[in-house]
Chains A and B, each alone.
Chain A
Amino acid sequence: MSVSETTAEQRTVLQDPSPQEKRAASRKAGWVRRAPLMPALVFVIIMTQLPFATTIVISFMSWNALRPDERGFAGFGNYAQVFSDSGLRSSVFTTIVLTIVVVGVSLVLGLLIALLLDRHFFGRGVVRTMMIAPFLVVPVAAALLWKHAILNPSYGLINGVLTWVWGLFGSQNPPQVAWLTQFPLLSIEAALIWQWTPFMMLILLAGLQSRPAEAFEAAKMDGASPVQAFRYITLPHLRRYIELGATLGAIFIVQNFDAVFTMTSGALGTANLPYTIYQTFFVRQDYGLAAAQGVIVVIGTIIVATFALRSVSSLLKEES
């Protein structure tokens, strides 16, 4: 605090003591208000901000746990390595492709299914419950299920059904595809789309059900076709919900580790950034490089998250 400020404050005290008292009282009231918030806020700051700050520090160090004597300052060396390593560049590319395909397909499927479930039909609650089930299978379990029970080349469900269908037509040599080795990324995408379509469907269904009925009745009276009503009323209304689903989905899928780790262990060009960081850290034990990769993922996530925060706040504003 500067000297002039102190004297000014003292002067006010001499002239009239009540403003300071008021200020003290309001400060106390402010702390009473803040008190319930403090434990949670302090806990989150300690548990999340400290590790990330440490990651930034380590990213500028050359630190390999296999060579503990060579620990030191590396400057931007790790970052240069991240961008020059072609394996790492391809993992950035894989992450982007995986995220865009899974979010895009899940959104389209989710929208179509939400439109179906918005109708009135027998057993709607049961169908809705069945639709949610994929999202509630533990991700590792879902990845195991897809890897062993569904995509296995010799006894997986898909090849099994192909054999059965071909058998119905009397064919002895049905197509049998080694899904995980021939289409590794597509297999991971399929498993993730299966899990994330219900998520998109739930958000979009909530959006459909909050649609103002009046506009629809008016459009119907004006003779709008179902397609026109969808294009000009439903879709604009759903825009924010689509944004929300896309950004939340993107944040979680960019971070996906379980499916890549379980289904392919990052082989055959399926290693995404989280898996690559995990490998750099646990197998190569290059802490400095892993930290630099982590910082880059954080920056990428912040860019996506900015859009997410914007769509969340726009929905909140609309609501209040």
Chain B
Amino acid sequence: MTTSGTQHQSEPGSARRTGAQEVAPAATAAEVDAAPPRQTYRKHSPLSRPNPLWGVLAWVVGLLFASPALWMVLTSFHSEVDAATNPPSLFAPLTLDGYQSFFGNSNAWPALINSATASVVSTVLVLVLSIPAAYALSIRPVKKWSDVLFFLLSTRFLPIVAAVLPLYIFAVWSGALDQIGLLIALYTAMNLPIAVWMMRSFLAEVPVEMLEAAQLDGAGLIRTLRSVVAPVAMPGIAATALICFIFSWQELLLARSLTGVVAGTAPVFLTSFVTSQGLFLAQVSAAATIVSLPVLLAGFAAQDKLVQGLSLGAVK
């Protein structure tokens, strides 16, 4: 592409530049053969000679970081007495008591269902709103599209805590207090900017030629979206959905301020464990494990696109 362009330049540059021009086509021709070995070379970090010590160190660090989470899961399967020993009883017999007392709590299931409702419905709404918006900001961009993008992003950076007060007053006035619908609307607004950013970066990967071809064939917007954009952007859409789900599921401040006994979500339920209640470590661990499980699964499923999502598409 660029090589052919430079070749046609007949201006006599420096000797070095002419040399580069001669080499360039050859390099392009050899690229097909040269690429695979170079790729493998890249995977080994250029400076690393295979030294098993670094691998061991990486494993140690990884285990160290995972250990609090692993400890949480292990403790959730211990009895209350075994969970509260000092030194810790690593090999105590396993039991489901912690989980039984978690599900024995009459508030547990409603909290999980509220969380699922708020997260899933708001994620669907986010997708419905963000896909067309991202389309209008990347594939067929409106004027000043980058201003719109940055305006959207700036709304996500505003601290939620400064909006809680008017939202609370509005909720009391309109009767929306302690209703899951209010949380759904707020989570949709909270995740929309991030979703538009992510979606934009994923839609930008759709080749322009395919879109032009679809347009020549007379395909409309819906058809173009469905048969050209969707297949390429699908993994990105899935990752966006998972990340929006994670953010909604984790949210505490809005849920804590605007819901109560009826619409309380799982994080709100967890706050009932803030003060110690005798021997309850296994029960806390079981509750924390269950509430975290959907996020852990969603996060591991979206692992490959997690960076792109968390960095708003700025990092691939």
Contact = CB atoms under 8 A, between A and B. Distances in A.
Interface string A45-66: 0011111101100100000000
Interface stretch (A1-9, A72-80, A140-148): A140-148
A283 to B, nearest CB: 12
A39 B129 contact: yes
B292 A138 contact: yes
B142 A131 contact: no
A316 B284 contact: no
Contacts of B47: 216, 220, 226, 229-230
A123 B58 CA distance: 10
B66 A255 contact: no
Q: How large is the interface on B (under 10, 10 to 19, 20 to 34, 35 or more residues)?
A: 35 or more
Given A30-B143, A55-B166, A290-B165, A244 B72 contact: no
Interface in B147-201: 148, 150, 152-155, 157-170, 185-186, 188-189, 192-193, 196
A107 interface: no
A249 B312 CA distance: 13
A39 B314 contact: no
Contacts of B314: 244, 311-312, 315-316, 319
A217 B42 CA distance: 10
Given A132-B300, A149-B281, A150-B68, 20 more contacts: A30-B143, A35-B136, A41-B152, A43-B129, A43-B192, A44-B193, A119-B48, A126-B62, A131-B61, A137-B292, A140-B271, A155-B83, A157-B71, A213-B38, A229-B47, A248-B310, A248-B312, A255-B161, A261-B252, A261-B271
29 contacts: A43-B189, A44-B192, A47-B186, A48-B163, A48-B189, A52-B162, A58-B166, A113-B58, A127-B59, A136-B295, A138-B292, A141-B288, A142-B68, A145-B69, A145-B288, A149-B71, A149-B72, A155-B83, A155-B281, A157-B71, A202-B307, A216-B46, A248-B311, A258-B267, A281-B165, A301-B159, A302-B154, A316-B314, A319-B314
Interface of A: 30, 33-37, 39-41, 43-44, 47-52, 54-55, 58, 113, 116-124, 126-142, 144-150, 152, 154-155, 157, 159-161, 163-164, 167, 194, 197-199, 202-203, 205-208, 210, 213, 216-217, 220, 226, 229-230, 241, 244, 248, 251, 254-255, 257-258, 261-262, 265, 273-274, 277-278, 281-282, 287, 290-291, 294-295, 297-298, 301-302, 304-305, 308-309, 311-313, 315-316, 319
